[in-house]
């Protein structure tokens, strides 16, 4: 799978800490998720056989012909799921599921604002929200993506528009959950939109990538703005602010067992045709760069 986080790695960012001063040493093989066929097993491995179709999380090194990873990060692919769907499934859907249900406790009738609604996590969020009755999804995305995703969210806004006013016009008291991968200038806006007992979750880090339009200084500035959350204000307004990093949960905090439980639930949803990964395009390994 090719995810936004892989672009960050390519820019020389350390995806664990989000900083530029300690990027992974090259040469390195990128990639954190893959699908394929089991070729060999460790001595004590149970539950898998050579020839099984599987998908897996990997701590780097996924973009390779042969991948080695601990068995706790490996899951069987349902019979009706293709390898390309499977390579696009774990990272986006586990991230979306855990933020919505483990961190924010999404329930019937709630509302969610998701930034980058056209991205992999954004699309997974929209699909998972549709499995719960009467959930309203507000999404922001670049305008060229609107046509492709307009059916998956309830209200779609241009990412450069004043979405705060738009959301308040539709829902005067705001939203229950804000999922923010933009990190920085949107934090204050997102918190202002939260209802009492609402949850604001910071994940990913789109704005940390320094491209043509983003300099290192704007990167540093957006991080500086994140720091200005006032704990007293959170208390007075009854708001929750949270952070979520799937890679840290998996590879630093050893929560593979928890994630296996989430994966089981997601595969049930897939089998009952409630969710389906969106594969944008397929590339030969030689073309990946």
**237 or 205, greater pLDDT:** 237
Interior angle at CA 82, CA 76 and CA 84, nearest 5 = 100
Residue 48 corresponds to which tokens in the numbers above? 């898998």
**What order do you get walking across the sheet with 33-37 strand by strand?**
33-37, 53-57, 74-76
What CATH number did the domain enclosing 161 receive? Answer: 3.40.50.720
pLDDT tens column, 91-138: 999 999 999 999 999 999 999 999 989 989 999 999 999 999 999 999
Interior angle at CA 3, CA 53 and CA 243, nearest 5 = 110
What CATH number did the domain enclosing 257 receive? Answer: 3.90.180.10
Q: Is residue 136 located within the same domain as residue 161?
A: yes
Rounded Cα gap, residues 179 and 173, in angstroms: 17
Residue 287 corresponds to which tokens in the numbers above? 């073309």
Averaged pLDDT of the chain:
88
**pLDDT category, 4, cuts 50, 70, 90?**
confident
Q: Is residue 79 located within the same domain as residue 18?
A: yes
Q: Is residue 13 located within the same domain as residue 130?
A: no
Residue 228, CA distances (Å) to 176, 222, 231 in order = 21, 11, 9
170 has a pLDDT exceeding 60: yes
What is the pTM assigned to this prediction? Answer: 0.91
209 has a pLDDT exceeding 90: no
Q: Is residue 107 located within the same domain as residue 223?
A: yes
pLDDT tens column, 51-81: 999 999 999 999 999 999 999 999 999 999 9
Q: Is residue 216 located within the same domain as residue 237?
A: yes
Range of the domain at 24: 4-89+252-287
Q: Is residue 45 located within the same domain as residue 177?
A: no
Number of separate domains in the chain: 2
Q: Is residue 149 located within the same domain as residue 269?
A: no
């Amino acid at each position: 799978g090719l995810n936004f986080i892989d672009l960050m790695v390519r820019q020389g960012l350390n995806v664990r800490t989000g900083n530029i001063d300690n990027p992974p040493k090259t040469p390195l093989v990128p990639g954190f998720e893959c699908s394929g066929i089991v070729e060999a097993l460790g001595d004590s491995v149970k539950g898998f056989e050579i020839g099984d179709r599987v998908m897996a999380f990997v701590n780097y090194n996924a973009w390779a012909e042969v991948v080695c990873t601990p068995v706790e990060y490996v899951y069987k692919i349902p019979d009706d799921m293709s390898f390309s769907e499977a390579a696009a499934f774990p990272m986006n859907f586990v991230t979306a599921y855990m933020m919505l249900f483990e961190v924010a406790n999404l329930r019937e009738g709630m509302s969610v604002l998701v930034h980058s609604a056209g991205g992999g996590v954004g699309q997974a969020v929209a699909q998972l929200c549709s499995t719960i009755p009467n959930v309203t999804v507000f999404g922001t995305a670049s305008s060229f993506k609107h046509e492709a995703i307009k059916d998956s969210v309830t209200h779609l806004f241009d990412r450069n528009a004043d979405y705060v006013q738009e959301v308040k016009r539709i829902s005067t008291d705001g939203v229950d959950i804000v999922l923010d991968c933009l990190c920085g200038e949107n934090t204050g806006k997102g918190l202002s939109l939260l209802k009492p007992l609402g949850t604001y979750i910071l994940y990913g880090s789109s704005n940390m990538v320094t491209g043509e339009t983003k300099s290192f200084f704007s990167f540093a500035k957006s991080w500086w703005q994140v720091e200005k959350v006032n704990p007293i204000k959170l208390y007075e307004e009854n708001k929750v602010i949270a952070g979520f990093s799937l890679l840290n949960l998996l590879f630093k905090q050893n929560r593979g067992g928890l994630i296996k439980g989430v994966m089981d639930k997601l595969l049930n949803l897939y089998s009952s045709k409630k969710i389906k990964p969106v594969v944008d395009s397929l590339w030969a390994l030689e073309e990946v760069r």
